[in-house]
Amino acid sequence: MHQLFRRGNQDWTLLLDWLVMAVEDWQMDTWMWQSEDIAWQDRWWVEDMACEDTWDQHEEVRDQRKEEDPRPNHPPGAAGSNIG
């Protein structure tokens, strides 16, 4: 009877050890996913800022060209244009 009790305790100990390891693995995976998610958010933010800067520069160049060229903008083939 004593051996059965000890065997049962060993089984419970193995089960509890396995459960603790599983929870620790899950916790580590969660931390890694969160840190990776934060890293991706930072990258996206940097890319968005770079895109906004590029777009702002594009608009500035366009506005400067409009100021330098007083002719009205006619798309190709439109009335009053020389093309088409």
pLDDT of residue 74: 58
Per-residue pLDDT of the chain (84 residues; tens, 9 = 90+): 556 567 777 888 999 999 999 999 999 999 999 999 999 899 899 899 888 988 988 899 888 888 887 666 656 655 554 554
Q: Output b/e per residue, 62-75; b: 16+ Cβ within 10 A.
A: eeeeeeeeeeeeee
pLDDT of residue 68: 80
pLDDT of residue 77: 59
> pTM of the predicted model, to two decimals?
0.41
